[in-house]
Amino acid sequence: MSKATLKLDDKELEFPIITGSEGEQAIDIGNLRSATGLITLDQGFVNTGSCESAITFIDGEKGILRYRGYRIEELAEKSSFLEVAYLLVRGELPTPAELEEFRHSITIHTMLHEDFRRFYGGFPKSAHPMAVVSAVTAALSTFYPDSLDPDDPLHVEICTKRLLAKLPTIAAYAFKHSIGQPFMYPDNRLGYAANFLRMMFATPCEEYLVDEVIAKALDLLLILHADHEQNCSTSTVRVVGSSRANLFASISSGVSALWGPLHGGANQAVIEMLQSMEKQGLSGKQFLDKVKDKQSGIRLMGFGHRVYKNFDPRAKIIKKTCTEVLQRLNKQTKLLDLAMELEEIALRDEYFVERKLYPNVDFYSGIIYQAIGIPVDMFTVIFAIGRLPGWIAHWTEMHEQGFRISRPRQVYTGATERTLVPLAQRG
């Protein structure tokens, strides 16, 4: 198949078919409007490709996820988050020397400008940390005017390193501010995940030793969240970047997009759902009956995905890690038991089977976060730390490829032209 034909009344038009490296095909409708005066309407972009990209491949039917050609299962088993970040941002896995240079260059940027303390002080303690993280990320552009030019590769390089280095610090400070504890400076002797855990949980008064099992589990979660092609937040980063907004501003908008409960906010929603089931003493079946009743407006959070219609490979890996972490920490597993009960019933239930609804990445991740002491409203913040290299990779790819400003069209359904009646004569 190399062309698609569109018949409009007695006119026939041909459109080229683009084929990707994994064989998926798209009709290139780039000249549709100029040739026909028509546009396409595709709510939620369910059938619309917004770009060509060489970063991440997903086959939602087969449950395949690969970053730059590497299977997520293999990356989860054999690599670290910084290696994956390098892979996404630079295109290839690093050699040991390249990784060391990358690690060092990120490590030396982990501190935040001291003036940010006053900035944090302006937020109410009750502020949601995603709001704080989005605001502080945008504010980085006020502190670093030397790295804002999207056309200067050196600016982009420095901005990339600053973001990767500072986001865990920004996130941990948001938490410390909310509980009124002193900010903990980064400890650059530690690895990426371990440093974040220390900034979250240490205080200046006591020695804090990072549990390596927990640091490893967190590193794995970051890997699993690192990219997911044109999802809501990544598309947002691209759209904002397409106006030639700087990288800090574009990433800040990605954080905001990720916050919503239908996207990254789902991990928080899952725990809240499980806790409310526990509180109300609802069994898995009783809760799922509510979900299936459309009038209730209740969804099984952590289930369903726009792309995965068979299983989410990340959910499989997380489920295994979840069991291991809980065992290691000797934590009570009530919420995990409830989650497994829900999964088991839902996977056999006609409602979920028919609609191809399976556990997604968020179904078990919240249980791990909770077990390691991360407060619920910080869950999505950790997702943001994980997704950061993906956002940067997509923003950079778009700039390297060349782009036009993202500007969808619409089908107008409002009033047709009418005459304005002066205010005094109205009503």
Least separation in angstroms between residue 306's CB and ligand ACO is 4
Based on CB atoms, which residue is closest to ligand ACO, 277 or 301? 301
CA–CA distance from 253 to each of 77, 131, 136, 139, 238 (Å)? Answer: 31, 11, 11, 12, 10
CA dist 383 and 386 (Å) reads: 5
For the question of residue 227 being annotated catalytic, the response is no
Based on CB atoms, which residue is closest to ligand ACO, 139 or 388? 388
Helix H, strand E, coil C: the string for the chain is CCEEEEEECCEEEEEEEEECCCCCEEECCCCHHHHHCCCCCCHHHCCCCCCCCCCEEEECCCCEEEECCEEHHHHHHHCCHHHHHHHHHHCCCCCHHHHHHHHHHHHCCCCCCCCHHHHHHCCCCCCCHHHHHHHHHHHHHHHCHHHCCCCCHHHHHHHHHHHHHHHHHHHHHHHHHHHCCCCCCCCCCCCHHHHHHHHHHCCCCCCCCCCHHHHHHHHHHHHHHCCCCCCHHHHHHHHHHCCCCCHHHHHHHHHHHHHCCCCCCHHHHHHHHHHHHHHHCCCHHHHHHHHHCHHHCCCCCCECCCCCCCCCHHHHHHHHHHHHHHHHHCCCCHHHHHHHHHHHHHHHCHHHHHCCCCECCHHHHHHHHHHCCCCHHHHHHHHHHHHHHHHHHHHHHHHHHCCCCCCCCCCCCCCCCCCCCCHHHCC
Based on CB atoms, which residue is closest to ligand ACO, 240 or 346? 346
For the question of residue 362 being annotated catalytic, the response is yes
Q: Which of 227, 312, 362, 377 is catalytic?
A: 362
Instruction: Report if residue 285 touches ligand ACO, rule: CB under 6 A.
Output: no
The site string for ligand ACO over 338-367 (x = CB under 6 A, - otherwise) reads -----------------x-x--xxx-----
Residue nearest to ligand ACO (CB): 304
Q: Which of 128, 155, 225, 305 is catalytic?
A: 305
Based on CB atoms, which residue is closest to ligand ACO, 259 or 303? 303
The site string for ligand ACO over 38-67 (x = CB under 6 A, - otherwise) reads ------x-----------------------
Residue of 241, 254, 284, 302 interacting with ligand ACO (CB under 6 A): 302
Instruction: Report if residue 274 touches ligand ACO, rule: CB under 6 A.
Output: no
Structure tokens at 153: 């590769």
Based on CB atoms, which residue is closest to ligand ACO, 89 or 357? 357
Which string of b and e fits 335-367 if b means at least 16 CB within 10 Å?
Answer: bbebbbbbbeebeebeebeeeebbbbbbbbbbb
Size of the site for ligand ACO (CB under 6 A): 19
Based on CB atoms, which residue is closest to ligand ACO, 140 or 318? 318
Residue of 299, 316, 328, 331 interacting with ligand ACO (CB under 6 A): 299
Least separation in angstroms between residue 270's CB and ligand ACO is 7
Based on CB atoms, which residue is closest to ligand ACO, 266 or 388? 266
Residue of 301, 317, 338, 385 interacting with ligand ACO (CB under 6 A): 301
Residue of 20, 262, 285, 286 interacting with ligand ACO (CB under 6 A): 262
Least separation in angstroms between residue 200's CB and ligand ACO is 22
Least separation in angstroms between residue 360's CB and ligand ACO is 4
CA 9 from chain centre, in angstroms, equals 44
Least separation in angstroms between residue 278's CB and ligand ACO is 19
Least separation in angstroms between residue 184's CB and ligand ACO is 29
Based on CB atoms, which residue is closest to ligand ACO, 187 or 289? 289
Stretch binding ligand ACO (CB under 6 A), from 3-11, 18-26, 134-142, 295-303: 295-303
Instruction: Report if residue 304 touches ligand ACO, rule: CB under 6 A.
Output: yes
Give the footprint of ligand ACO on this chain (CB under 6 A).
44, 262-264, 266, 291, 299-306, 355, 357, 360-362
- Which are the catalytic amino acids? 305, 362
